[in-house]
Each structure stands twice: as structure tokens, then as C-alpha cells.
Structure 1
Amino acid sequence: MRKKTPKQKQEAASATDATGIRLQQPDRSGPKGKTLLQFADDRSLFDRADERQRQLNRERGLPEDTGIIKKKAKPEDDSDSESDDEDDDGPAVSPRAERILDTLLWCISLATLHFTLDVLVQNQYAVSLEWPVVIWRALLALGVFVPLFYNLHRHPLDPRLLFLRSPPVIQDRVRQALFFATSTLAGCYLIHITNNYGYIAVMEQAPPLGCLWVWSVIEMDLAWAVSSLAIAGAFMKLKGYGI
């Protein structure tokens, strides 16, 4: 075995002491060769994945750009690239997660509208408010609106109807016709019961009918919504009803 020199013995002895460890900066010069992203870009793997995603979107009846991250142009300086990276740190929301969050947001608003209409109707007839009953009715309305909204609403990332397999144009026409019929029937029937039925029937039926009417009008395009409201107004005038 080769004997250690006095200098090597001194270095070995000092290595056991933390204060004798030499400090050195890490290598920040960057990769010496190509990275995995550069290899993938050279072989057009990202373009193939985007083309595959577009093909799946066409088969599912979704917009072609759904789920595809658009490439950004290279920034002119490093400061801009750092700020852009900070803005894009958040993960993209999947179509299903977006559908669920959108449904919860809208349905909570509709349940709040049901709660408000219920309170207003009872105040109109000078009935003592039973808050547990009013809250329970609003929760029931929330439970009814969630599946309806989840399946019928035109969600931004996934606008298709889940119960209908057809081209997007046909689905949009079916959706508009469905909400047009719902809006017209709910509006005319609400006008009818408020002018002919007793206060008990009005208190029970007016809040859900009012929510259906408002939601249907919001879901329709402008031409369909105006036509539906015009039919309800013509019905009220033809029957001689008042508001």
C-alpha cells in the first residue's frame, strides 16, 4: 500500500472537521448538450401530440383547439420571459373540472334567486316567514338545477350536450329550441297562475317557475330570448292579465 504524504494526511485529518470543508459554487453554465425538450422538438413530438388531440376533439365533437397549449413567440429579453413564466405557472383546467365549477357557480346563484323569490312571494301575501322551510326549498332547487345545468349549459371548454351525439351545430339548435320551449311555457304558466290561482299555489309554484324562466332566457341567444318574451307578453295581453 502506498504511503500518504504529509500533505494528504493533513487534508484527511481536516476533512473530519466541518470547518475545514472547502466551499465551492455549483456549476451554473447550463446543459452542455441538447435537453429532452430540444430532442422532442427536433422530432416534432409536440406537433404529433397536438394533431392527435385535434383528431380526438373532432371525434368527440369538441372545438379543435380544446386541450392544446398554444406556443408563444420567444420574448426579446430575459425579463419578459421570466414574467411570462410566472403568469403561466398555474395548471390549465380540464373540461370536466371547468364544467363542474361552472355548474356549482351558476346553480348556487339560481338557488339564491329561488330563495329571494320565495321570500318576496311570502311577503307579498303577508305570510309569516318560516326560514327553515325557505332554506330547505332553496336546497331542493339547488339539487334539481345541478344535473340540469351540468348537462344542458353551453360550457366554454366543453359545449356539447352529454345526452345527444350529433354535430355541434345540431346540438346548439336543439339546446336553443329546448330553452325556448321552457322559457315560453314557464313564462306563460307563471302569468296564468298569478292571475287565476290562490296564494298557496302561487307561493309554491312561483319561485321555481321564475328561476326556470330566468335561466332559460339567459341560456338563449338574443333572437330566441326576445321571441320568447314577446310570446309571453302577447299571451298576457290576449288573456287580459296584469302583472
Structure 2
Amino acid sequence: MAEEEKPRNRKERRAAAKESGKPVEAPTKMPKMKMTTPDYDARPAKGTTLLDIYEEKKDLLSKGQPFDDKYADGLPRGESGNILDVGLGDNEPIGPFGNAVFWSVCLAMLHFTLDVLTYNQYAQDIIWPAIFKRSGTILPILFLAIYIMKSELAYKLGILRQVLFLGVAIAAGCYLIHAGNAYGYFAVMKQAPPLGTLWVYSVIELDLWFAVASLAFNAGFMLWNGYTVF
């Protein structure tokens, strides 16, 4: 009869001891790692902890010494105080190329819709191949323009970028209103879709108060000249 196998681990040893009624034998070898209680009062010889920094800043604030003004912007900074690269906010996930693809497709669809609406307004038979061709032609133009205006260089212009879009929004809106009231149906059918698309995109890119100012200017232009919307 083969000799019974010895328990291989603690679980098996405990199970065997429970079955036999004998207590588990004490270990015959001391562990290599020394078992001691950590010294909670000991402090690191070098460097500081986050708690140390917190206490230091808290002490400065209690003495009326606030943080430097350069930290008031709330931007993430490294240990040296330099601003970390956080991209361009809402534009960061997809970048200029992704924004250009998204907006050019959306605006091409808007151009297509405006083209169809002008045909319906003047009760003309819709020529679908011509509409698709015009929308396909304007798509790469929109992509290039949007890619440029969504680039990091364009955003560095700051207020100048907003002024540029403000001028385009006012010019496109006023000319579209004038064309719709003064020109014949054929001219309106040709000019309304691209002008309307340019107008809408320019207003979208404007900050709130710039957008309100552009729309107010367009409304004033319409009332001053006695034009109507329909």
C-alpha cells in the first residue's frame, strides 16, 4: 500500500488536523522576513509629502499670504509651476482634422437643404443631379476653410478670429437679405445656398455676444431698408 501523501499547503494541513483531531504542528523554520510593527512616528529623511505641502500652504493662508496670482487661472500645472498641455478644450478630442470633417459634412447637408428649399420657394422642378453636384463641389472648399479656422494658429489670433467671423456674418447676412428682396428668382437660387451656409457657420463660430451683435446688425439692416423676410 502506498504511503499517504502529506498535506501540501496550509489548507490541506488544517483539513487533515481537523479529521485526525491533532493540532497543527508549529512551524520548524523561522520566516525570512522579519515580522515587526512599522514605526508610524518615523518621517522620511528626504522630500515632502502632500500632507506637508497642504499644512505649509494652510499656514501661509492663515497668515494672509495667498497663492501667487499666476495660479488663479485654475489650469493644471506641473511641479515646476508650468502649465500642462491641455489642448484646445472642446476641440481636443478630434482635433482640427476631425472638426473639419464633421462641420464640412454638416454644412454641405445644410447647403443641400437650402438648395432644395429655394427650388420649392419658386415652384421650380428640382434638378437633383445639379443640386448634388453643387453640394459635392462646396464640400472640399468647406473642409479646407474649416480646417484652417480650427487650427491652433487660428485660435492663437484670439479676438481677431472673432472679429473676422463677425465681419463675415454681417456681410453674408446683409447681402443675403438684400439679394432675396432685390434680385430675381434665378439669382436668388444661385446665391442663397452658399451665402446661407456661410452665414450660419460664421454665427456658430462666434461667441455669444458677438453672435447677438451680428444678428442685431442684420435685423437693423433689414428694417432700415424696408426689406422683409418672406
Which TM-score tier does this pair reach, normalised by the shorter chain?
0.5 to 0.7
Letter of the 1:65 partner, please give it: D
1:146 and 2:146 equivalent?
A: no
- Alignment match of 1:160 (pick from 153, 156, 167): 153
Secondary structure of the corresponding residue to residue 153 of structure 2 = coil
1:110 and 2:107 equivalent?
A: yes
Write the distance in 2 (CA, Å) between the matches of 1:159 and 1:237. Answer: 39
Residue 121 of structure 2: aligned partner: 124
Residue 205 of structure 1: aligned partner: 191
Write the distance in 1 (CA, Å) between the matches of 2:134 and 2:214. Answer: 27
- Alignment match of 1:180 (pick from 155, 160, 166): 166
Write the distance in 2 (CA, Å) between the matches of 1:109 and 1:100. Answer: 14
By how many angstroms is 1:160 displaced?
Answer: 3.1
Secondary structure of the corresponding residue to residue 115 of structure 1 = helix
Residue 192 of structure 1: aligned partner: 178
1:232 and 2:218 equivalent?
A: yes
By how many angstroms is 1:231 displaced?
Answer: 0.5
Letter of the 1:196 partner, please give it: A
Letter of the 2:176 partner, please give it: L
By how many angstroms is 1:99 displaced?
Answer: 1.6
By how many angstroms is 1:95 displaced?
Answer: 6.4
- Alignment match of 1:65 (pick from 65, 85, 108): 85
Write the distance in 2 (CA, Å) between the matches of 1:204 and 1:118. Answer: 8
Secondary structure of the corresponding residue to residue 126 of structure 2 = coil
Residue 82 of structure 1: aligned partner: none
Q: CA offsets per residue over residues 200-238 of structure 1, 9 Å max, x none?
A: 000000000000000000000001000000000000000
Structure 1-normalised TM-score? 0.56
Residue 84 of structure 1: aligned partner: none
Secondary structure of the corresponding residue to residue 242 of structure 1 = coil
Letter of the 1:161 partner, please give it: A
Residues 1:225 and 1:97: Cα distance change in structure 2 (over 3 Å):
closer
Letter of the 2:154 partner, please give it: L
Q: CA offsets per residue over residues 180-200 of structure 1, 9 Å max, x none?
A: 000000000000000000000
Q: CA offsets per residue over residues 74-128 of structure 1, 9 Å max, x none?
A: xxxxxxxxxxxxxxxxxxxx96962211110111000000000000000110111
RMSD over aligned Cα atoms:
2.4
Write the distance in 1 (CA, Å) between the matches of 2:149 and 2:93. Answer: 14
Gaps of 5+ in 2: 1-76
Secondary structure of the corresponding residue to residue 189 of structure 1 = helix
Letter of the 1:174 partner, please give it: L
Residue 74 of structure 2: aligned partner: none
Determine which structure has more spread, i.e. the larger CA radius of gyration: 2
Structure 2-normalised TM-score? 0.60
